[in-house]
Structure 1
Amino acid sequence: MTATLPTAADPPSGATGHPLPVRRPPGGLGVRPPAPARPLVRFRSSRPDLLLCGALLLAILLVQGWNITGFPTLSDDEGTYLAQAWAVQQGDGLAHYTYWYDHPPLGWIQLAGLTYLPSLFVPESMTVAPMRFSMLAVSAASAVLIYVLARRLWLPRWAAGLAMALFGLSPLSVVLQREIFLDNLAVMWMLLAFCCAASPSRHLWHLFASGLAAATAVLTKETMLVVLPALLVTMWRHSHRDTRKFAVTGAVTACVLIGLSYPLYALLNNELLPGAGHVSLIDGITYQMSRPGSGFILTPGTGSHGVFTSWLYYDTVLPLGGLAGAVLLLAAHRWSVTGRALAGPALAAVILALVAMRPSGYLPAMYVIQALPFLALVLAGGAAGVTHAVLRRRRGPGESRVLVTGRRALIGVLAASAALYVLPRWYEGDRTALTADANAPYRQAAAWLGSEVDDPAHTRVLVDDALWLDAVHHGFEPGPGAIWFYKADLDPAVTRTLPHGWRDIDYVVSSPTVRRDAADLPTVRAALEHSTVVAVFGAGEDRIEIRRTDRESGS
């Protein structure tokens, strides 16, 4: 895709290259689409855009990359996706255990590609903490796409830079975009889809490419399905009226056909429908849809409220300010140029918020990643609309120069107040991400397994997802030796290798995740009950214990 940016005097152009007339509602808030004068300026040829985008990108990569292995705490999902990517690299299939259609596999196939070269040159680096650096490439691509999309949606240069900074430097973004989540990859592809849909060149292939990128986003993380209506709105608004129906139909067809490759794969493997002795796509979807709800997001004490509170702990401006801006832009889209230009991102933010507020739904902590780019765009667009309304309103016949200066001073005061409110809070959140070491217990536990176990090749240890690859690199046999703790109870292929249950296990690495989920896993619970602590790393609820099982105890 060739990124093209409008200049201060460039209108959208039609499929034939001729400029289209632009309606300007009187008194409308927003960035006024300029009159036709000059041709489109290519992003790669716009020195101011390149300099601003490059400077912001450098700052984002520096902040997100500094101490990336130390904070935040390694999560189970990171270990799961990276272990599955490792299995793809090794040629062992789509997962190192039975692939059961929990998510489409395209996400960790991409991870396998991102981590291939580092793992080739330094095999022992294929563990969660070092491989977080691969996510910097994803963050970089997404940040640049945010800037390009903002300019294609007619935001001024400074507002595009603001959107990019909001997206990449918010403490909430710094924490979540560092982690190896499928959501980060899916956001990158969805932003590419929006950029293609909003292309000012309006070539038909841009719409087809948008559909392909959208399908890739959905096959990376299936929850991106809910954003497709917002993408369709952007396609419709930015396509040429003469070819709109054909182009949008082609984009939708491309998206659907690529998306059908996933159920087709299941069908060809005889795993589409439930049946005895095999997994199925329908069973995987049923499980995801039937997960216990985490309650209403605004009800104290619910799981969803806890997740929501954790988001606001890092940043209140981007989630709340962005959502408020999205609602206002949608409400004013008929008379606001900015509202019409940002209708797609605003609708995406509102849809994602409504899905998160379902009382019966399950709300994971990484869900907000999907909303971050759209929240940043509408917040920056709202700032641009207010600035335009105040500063660029024509001076009336009876209006003195003092009043004009007063309007400018008002904008300055508002900008300074916003900076004074936001920057200290962002500084504290980002400072924690740059200095805290939350993963020392994991590193110490992994080192203990590598140095203190005499014969790892013939030793069985239960570990959580985040430590599984560490154990494998220390010589434990993948599957029968290093065992994901929940597989000991839930995977028939693993339980068959444990005929005596917990007595066939030598060690249990008791992390917070293992202790939390052991109540529902009889084998894991029994192994913890019939074991003694031989090493402890960390303190309190976040401690990690190495426990040796006592095979002679219990009944």
Structure 2
Amino acid sequence: MTSTLPAATSTTVPAQRPRAPKIVPAVRPPLRFRSSRADLVLCGVLLVAILVVQGWNIADYPTLSDDEGTYLAQAWAVQQGSGLAHYTYWYDHPPLGWIQIAALTWLPAQIDPSLMTVGSMRVAMLLVSAASAVLLYVLARRLSLPPWAAGLAMAIFGLSPLSVVLQREIFLDNIAVMWTLLAFCLAASPSRHLWHHFGAGIAAAAGVLTKETMLVILPALVVTMWRHGHRDTRKFALTGAVTACVLIGLAYPLFALLKGELFPGAGHVSLWDGITYQMSRPGSGFILDPGSGSYGVLRSWLYYDRVLLLGGLAGAVLLLVTWRWSVTARALAGPALTVGILAVVALRPSGYLPAMYVIQALPFLALVLAGGTASVAHAVLRRWRGAEERAYVTWGRRVTAALLVAAAAAYVVPRWYDGDRTAVTVDANAPYRAASHWLGAQVANPQDTRILVDDALWLDLVHQGYRPGLGVIWFYKADLDPAVTKTMPGGWRDLDFVVASPTVRRDAVDLPNVKAAMAHSTPVATFGEGADRIEIRQVTGSTATTAGTGTGGSAGGSR
């Protein structure tokens, strides 16, 4: 029996029109910053303006701070090969920050050792400011902001009076911000090479080891890396970045372990004690409580610039709320999250809020403020715009945009002009210079003189012949460092002078030896007026001789 298939039914298939080939638009490769002439010109012009404004009068304003003197003195100790600090290093911060300061200031210190003072070495911070400003522009472009918005972010970051004041100062936070911006730039690299993500992890670790508080914004860096990584390799890249960051970060506790100073013990400092102190230090209160120290810090920030702080916070909220619908918001999710995290940390009811804390937020506030501005500009000029839009509607959009720009400029420019003019004209450090000169010229035998000073003047007096450590003494150490207190068996009676700067007068309340020395001394010279004055006080019973006594009068204005 033969099996046969049924005959196929004959059907007529209607002729079909050939389909036009699908045209796929060519994908333009990401524009390289170094090959874009427009970006290079705009960034270069803004960089020159920023360096001029930040560099002009940098040694004289703002007032020298004890923290600046501490970091520079520690950098000096590194340069001298005498350790990680000019006194006992007690793990208050990781040492990478002032090691970098030592590298930045090494050449001028070799050329002229007397330049190794706070005022003159502030110039080194211009290199950090320049790098941070350029990195911010690059990051803005990598996050898809148009050139004008990237330039706006760079200008806000570099020319805001708040930025000008804080970026001039020798703070670890400024260097840590530079490393963090580099990490974000690598995380958002359009090339998506794996080494970029490994590099982001290394840069993030450098930022944390420069200032440990940068640790809190690493989640925002992870978000940026995830959003801009290739979907096929992002898990591997993220794992590599986290591994690189953790392994480098572990170098700090490993250093303490090898020195036998990881945990507390008799006769030595420890990393554990340093961390415990930082975590348990008295809080400055809730930032919105008018009676708290944190509120005073907030007021000082707002005094210099309300636009960057409030506008940046508003921009972050706008971007976080609209990230589902806005391309710009999705691209800036990482920086907006950074601002949110730093704001939440600042709002802790019992946390400690230092004045330099806002430095960590400045570039991200500027970036989200520029991003929010770009979103508003896009909504006004192009949102719901069709091909058939009438000419008068288009012109209405342009007029609206121009009015918004004019209103913003009318509000911002006068306030920034006043703040920046103060920064480039006011001499706030004349009392410090006069006190330093007096101590160098009037004290007969500096080598045999013991004097308490704040760290803003410590290096000045070292260069004038006072013995570092035991002759010129950082006033905190007279009570808190056993290596110093054991050389003062008579307490305050073993001192000759106290330089009573505002910092010394403020903190002497909690330091018995310093408080007693202040109480048992009389002024022999005074420089400046009011709360900003600097008094040189000779301790009762001191045998130190001077060329004469007198008053410095009003040697400088107050801030």
Q: How does 1:177-188 map to 2 (within 5 A)?
A: 177-188=167-178
Which is further off, 210-219 or 381-390? Answer: 381-390
Partner of 2:88: 98
Per-residue deviation, 1:552: 7.6
Summarize the Cα distance change of 1:341–1:552 in structure 2 as closer, same or farther, 3 Å threshold: closer
Q: Distance in 2 between matches of 1:344 and 1:118?
A: 38
Equivalent in the alignment of 1:441: 431
Q: Distance in 2 between matches of 1:524 and 1:436?
A: 31
Matched with 1:381 is 371
Question: Which aligned pairs between 1:513-532 and structure 2 lie closer than 5 A?
Answer: 513-532=503-522
Deviations 1:354-412 (A, max 9, x none): 10110110000000000001000000011111111221235347642101110111011
| 1:48 is the counterpart of 2:38 | yes
Structure 1 residue 38 displacement after superposition: 2.8
Structure 2 alignment gaps of length 5 or more:
1-24, 544-559
**TM-score by structure 1 length?**
0.92
Give identity over the alignment, percent: 75
Normalising to structure 2: TM-score of the pair?
Answer: 0.92
Q: Is residue 149 of structure 1 aligned with residue 139 of structure 2? A: yes
> 1:505-544 residue pairs with structure 2 within 5 A?
505-544=495-534
Matching residue within 272, 292, 315 for 1:302: 292
Counterpart for residue 292 of structure 1: 282
Question: What's 1:111 paired with?
Answer: 101
Distance 1:391 1:520 in 2: 60
Quote the Cα distance in structure 2 between the aligned partners of 1:49 and 1:485.
50
Cα separation, 2, equivalents of 1:99 and 1:397:
68
Q: 1:497 aligns with which of 470, 479, 487?
A: 487
- Alignment of 1:163 onto 2:153: yes
Q: Distance in 2 between matches of 1:148 and 1:129?
A: 31
SS of structure 2 residue aligned to 1:115: helix
Secondary structure at the aligned position of 2:524 is classed as strand
Superposition map of 1:447-466 within 5 A: 447-466=437-456
Cα distance in 2, alignment partners of residues 398 and 273 from structure 1: 73
Give 2:527's aligned amino acid.
F
After the TM superposition, which residues 478-493 of structure 1 pair with which residues of structure 2 at under 5 Å, given as runs?
478-493=468-483
Is the partner of 1:509 in helix, strand or coil?
strand
Paired AA for residue 361 in structure 1: G
Task: Return the offset for 1:40.
Answer: 2.8
Over the aligned positions, Cα root-mean-square deviation in angstroms equals 1.3
CA pair 432-58 structure 1, distance change in 2 beyond 3 A: same
Partner residue in 1 for 2:263: 273
Measure the CA separation in 1 of the matches of 2:253 and 2:443.
44
CA distance in 2, matches of 1:243, 1:529: 67
For the pair shown, the structure with the greater C-alpha radius of gyration is 2
Q: Does 1:416 align with 2:383?
A: no
- Counterpart of 1:51, as a letter, is V
Shift in Å at residue 275 of structure 1?
Answer: 1.1
- Does structure 1 conserve the Cα–Cα contact (< 8 Å) formed by 2:495 and 2:542? no
* Alignment match, 2:232: 242
Shift of 1:70: 0.7
Quote the residue 1:547 is aligned against.
Answer: 537
Paired residue type of 2:522: T
Please state whether the residue corresponding to 1:301 is helix, strand or coil. Answer: coil
Q: Structure 1 residue 86: deviation in Å? A: 0.3
**Are 2:113 and 1:123 equivalent residues in the alignment?**
yes
Q: 1: CA distance between counterparts of 2:87 and 2:413? A: 45
Instruction: Give the deviation of 1:548 after TM superposition.
Output: 0.8
The alpha carbon displacement at 1:41 in A equals: 2.6
Which one of 189, 199, 211 corresponds to residue 221 of structure 1? 211
Q: 2:79 aligned with 1:79, yes or no? A: no
**AA aligned opposite 1:197:** A
State the Cα deviation string for residues 168-216 of structure 1 (Å, max 9, x = none). 0000000000000000000000000000000000000000000000000
Name the aligned partner's letter for residue 267 of structure 1: L
Seen in structure 2, the aligned counterparts of structure 1 residues 259 and 546 have a Cα distance that, compared at 3 Å, is same
Distance across 2 between alignment mates of 1:393 and 1:482: 66
Question: C-alpha distance in 2, partners of 1:521/1:87?
Answer: 25
Aligned equivalents of 1:224, 1:494: Cα separation in 2: 33
Deviations 1:465-516 (A, max 9, x none): 1000011011000011000011001100000111111111011111111111
For residue 203 of structure 1, what is the aligned residue in structure 2? 193
Mapped partners of 2:342, 2:268: distance in 1: 34
In 2: Cα distance, 1:98 partner to 1:84 partner:
10
Whole-Å Cα distance in 2 between the matches of residues 551 and 301 of structure 1? Answer: 41
The 1:41–1:552 alpha-carbon spacing in structure 2 relative to 1, beyond 3 Å, is closer
Residues 302-321 of structure 1: per-residue CA shift (max 9 Å, x gap): 00000000000000011111
Tell me the amino acid that sits aligned with residue 283 of structure 1. D
Alpha-carbon separation, structure 2, partners of 1:456 and 1:130:
23
Counterparts of residues 356-435 of structure 1 (less than 5 Å)? 356-393=346-383, 395-396=385-386, 399-435=389-425
Give the counterpart letter for 2:439 in structure 1: L
Counterpart for residue 327 of structure 2: 337
- What displacement does 1:331 show? 1.2
Separation in structure 2 between the aligned mates of residue 253 and residue 551 of structure 1, nearest angstrom: 60
Paired letter, 2:204? A
Q: Counterparts of 1:500 and 1:396 in 2: how far apart (Å)? A: 85
Number of aligned positions between the proteins: 520
State the shift of 1:529 in Å: 1.1
Q: Which amino acid aligns with 2:73?
A: A
Would you say 1:264 and 2:265 are equivalent positions?
no
CA deviations on 1:113-161 (whole Å, 9 max, x unpaired) are 0000010001001000000000000000000000000000000000000
The runs of at least 4 consecutive aligned structure 1 residues that moved more than 4 Å come to none
Q: 2:75, 2:183 → 1: CA distance?
A: 25
User: Secondary structure of the residue that 1:133 maps to in structure 2?
Assistant: helix
Cα deviation per residue 1:53-103 (whole Å; 9 max; x = unaligned)? 000000000000000011000001000000000000000010010000000
- The one-letter code matched in structure 2 to 1:105 is P
In structure 2, how many angstroms separate the alpha carbons of the residues matched to 1:61 and 1:352? Answer: 27
The answer on whether the counterparts of 2:496 and 2:542 sit within 8 Å (CA) in structure 1 is no
1:421 and 1:36, CA in 2 relative to 1: closer, same or farther beyond 3 A?
farther
Change (3 A) 1:160 1:36: farther
User: Aligned pair in 2 of structure 1 residues 404, 484: CA closer, same or farther (>3 Å)?
Assistant: same
Give the Cα separation in 2 of the matches to 1:218 and 1:245: 23
